[in-house]
Amino acid sequence: MVVRAAKVIVNNPKKVADLVDLANLSGPLREFMGQSQISRLGCFVRIWSYIKEKGLQDPSNKNIVNCDDKLKGMLLGKPQLELAELPMLIKMHFPKTPNRCL
Amino acid sequence: MGKIPLSVRSTKLPVPLLKLPPASTTVQVSETEPLRALGSVPRHFRGAHDSRSSPSSFKRKKTASAVPPLLMAPQSVFQSRRLSDAKRDFDSLLLSSRRSSVSSPVRLDCNSLLQAFCNAGATSEDAIAFLHHMSLRAPSFSPDRSSYHIVLVHSCLQPCPGDISGALRALGLMVENNLPPTPATADLAVRSLCSARREDDACEFIRVLSLRHSAPPDAFTYNFFVRQLCKTRSLSTVYDFISGLHSAVGVKPDLVTYTILIDAVCRGKNLREATRLLGVLADSGFKPDCYLYNTIMKGYCTLDRGNEVIAVYNKMREEGVEPDLVTYNTLVYGLSKSGRMDQALKFLNIMTERGQFPNTVTYTALMNGMFRKGRALDALKLLEEMNARGCTPNECTYNTLLMGLCRAKVLDKGMELYGLMTASGMKLESGAYSALVRALCRENKVSEAYSVFDYALESKSLPDVAAYLPLESSLKLLKKIKA
């Protein structure tokens, strides 16, 4: 059943398109990425690997990220964020019906 | 699960067969290297084509034996795909081989040169022109059937659907030179057309071969093609092809063909058609064999009617067909899937009594059933029993276990298993992956879930999207739980 459910998600073209379509980036994000367009999935992978690279996870509680200045500028400016929120925070940079380009 | 008879599968040759023979030597037939010697004989099988040829057509063409040593051309002899360059290169090769022939007689292997030119990306017209050029310049060379097969295969591999003029031209040349097409010709052409995804053209080509040249495909080619059609086209196309060939040249579907058809309709969950086919089969006087029964059993499993497998099994016994390992595995799978674990376990003993030893597949099917029934600990017991009997669990077993354990909320055991899997570099299947990620998120182990995500990407188990979506939805779920 779970296998089937996962397949349904992957086969849902709208959801997949939402994830992989390139979108124009806002100012702070553009600075971070060094490029003007990226997909939501690509953005997530980039930020997550940035967090790992810089070792920003809190040593006592790995679920919490201590933001550095670059991350703060991008993600609400909070000093700390929960790893669980990351997809939601990134989603805010990708509004639903924006100037999508193909 | 139900297996298709060996003869029907598109055969993969063992790797040693594909090795190129050592350059510039005679064909060494030594006892220690029979495979390599065989590999060097049918020259026209080299290149993009050789992995797909059936063993039967291999035997058929084990003829070309080289008496004078052949000068093997390196595969990259032609740098450009232009005809004029190729002609010039050939002339210089010819000249140098003549010079050296005083000391040791060397003959140019024109067929492999032709193949090399085709591999360099020549058009099919150029290939024919080059063949003509070679036959004019080199007096010792006269194009044989394999030369035309090379040209034929090359033109069949071109990605130009709807246009089989190139293949027909090669065929025409063959016939002009008193080399009527053999079943091998049909086999090569059909397989190359299918690998270029030109099934409709293959259909047309078979029709031309059967009607104009009276060289209908043999059983291997026919069944291969029916299988290919079943995979890529609608059922009515397949039936049109079968009936067309039957009325034109009297090629009838055999038991293997029916097995393929029944398998295909069961995959499409078309029970009524499968039943009709069984009737047709009985009317044409075929007696179902073990493979067919296995296919029927598998069909019932895909149709979520695992209960029926027992009836098929009993029928088999009545007809005196001896069940094989695949039968028992399908049986156990079907029973487990429909939740009749007691009976599945009973068959585990029956099969041992009858001389078929349960293997990894059997145990994996059983474990799957245990988890369906919520008996996670029994499944772990099965793993121990399996190890005790000398069956090594494979990737599929581990994935089944991981998924089951995570869904049964035995996360610590699941993580232990996940550790084993990562240590040996196994891939995660999407079901197991999403179950694991969800279980981790539920326990608020978000960073672990992220590292599972990383592993899934790193080990290339899943495409990015398929790995990200379960993570995102599980995190959403976590938020809801917290709120």
pLDDT single digits (tens) B218-254: 899 999 999 999 999 899 999 999 998 888 888 888 9
Q: What is the mean pLDDT of residues B134-157?
A: 87
B 263-302 residues with CB below 8 A of A? none
Environment class of B102 (CB within 10 Å of its CB; exposed 0-12, middle 13-18, buried 19+): exposed
Using the predicted structure, report yes or no on whether residue B170 has a pLDDT greater than 80. Answer: yes
Give the three-state DSSP class for A64: strand
**Smallest CA–CA separation between B192 and chain A, in Å?**
31
Q: What is the pLDDT of residue B267?
A: 87
C-alpha span between B336 and B263 (Å, rounded): 21
**For residue B293, what are its two tokens?**
């029964």
Q: Is pLDDT larger for residue B329 or for residue A15?
A: B329
* Mean pLDDT of all residues in B380-402: 89
pLDDT, position B76: 61
* Fold of the B253-393 domain: 1.25.40
Tens of pLDDT along B60-109?
333 333 344 455 555 567 777 788 888 888 888 888 877 765 555 556 78
Closest-CA residue of A relative to B469 is: A9
On the question of a common fold for B253-393 and B394-483, the answer reads yes
Q: Point out the residue among A5, A7, A10 whose CB comes nearest to the CB of B465.
A: A10
B406: closest chain A residue by CA = A2
Query: What is the percent of chain B where pLDDT is above 70?
Result: 82
d(CA B110, CA B140): 10
Q: Can you give the pLDDT at residue B71?
A: 52
Task: Please say whether the beta carbons of B151 and B188 come within 8 A.
Answer: no
- Domains of chain A listed by start with CATH number: 2-91 (1.10.245.10)
Residue B145 token pair = 């059937």
Check pLDDT > 50 for residue B29. no
Domain boundaries, chain B: 11-45+67-221, 253-393, 394-483
Of B435, B465, B475, the CB nearest to A19: B465
Q: 């060379």: which residue's tokens?
A: B141
B263 and B15 Cβ atoms separated by less than 8 Å = no
Q: pLDDT (tens digit, 9 = 90+) per residue, A30-79?
A: 777 777 788 888 888 888 888 888 888 888 888 888 888 777 777 777 77
Distance CA A79, CA A74 (A): 12
pLDDT above 50 for B315: yes
Preferred mutation among B337, B472, B477 to probe A, highest tally of A CBs within 10 A: B472
Number of Cβ within a 10 Å radius of residue B377: 13
Instruction: Report pLDDT digits (tens) over B443-478.
Output: 888 888 988 999 998 888 888 888 888 888 888 888
Domain B394-483 classification at class level: mainly alpha
pLDDT band at B189 (very low <50, low <70, confident <90, very high): very high
Average pLDDT, chain B: 80
Average pLDDT over residues B146-165: 88
Provide the ipTM.
0.82
pLDDT at B45 over 50: no
A52: chain B residues, CB-CB within 8 Å = 454
**Confidence (pLDDT) at B228:** 93
